[in-house]
Amino acid sequence: MKIGRLITAEVKAPWVILQGGDTEPACSAENIFKGVLTKITRGKINTECIVRISDTTELCAVVSSMGSQSLELNEGNNVWVLFNCFSVVLYAD
């Protein structure tokens, strides 16, 4: 890596954890973002959730459909997005 070089970070959607509530979660994840759930695609087994954490950044999480039901996830909900530093893959241009 060099100063000025473009670096892209990727996190695989199944490694992203969602949590509801207004209070920042106490956990061991190094990456914690608050966002708004903008899109949900529900399946029998998995549910894909798109969370906007800033005007230009969205994260995708794939959670079990049972898990999404227990969290009562709906579009427009505020959620916390969590992932560990070991889940991030960096790409240098």
Run of H or E residues at 88: strand 88-92
The domain in which residue 58 lies consists of 7-92
Rounded Cα–Cα distance for residues 34 and 56 (Å): 14
Rounded Cα–Cα distance for residues 28 and 68 (Å): 22
Within-domain flag for 1? no
Give the CATH number of the domain where residue 49 resides: 2.40.50.100
Phi then psi for 27, rounded to 5 degrees? -160, 175
Rounded Cα–Cα distance for residues 7 and 93 (Å): 6
Domain total in the chain = 1
- The answer on pLDDT for 1 being more than 90 is no
In this structure, are residues 72 and 20 in contact, taking their beta carbons and an 8 Å threshold? yes
Q: Read off the pLDDT of residues 50-92 as tens digits, 9 standing for 90 and up.
A: 999 999 999 999 999 999 999 999 999 999 999 999 999 999 8
Q: Read off the pLDDT of residues 33-49 as tens digits, 9 standing for 90 and up.
A: 999 999 999 999 999 99
pTM of this prediction exceeds 0.85: yes
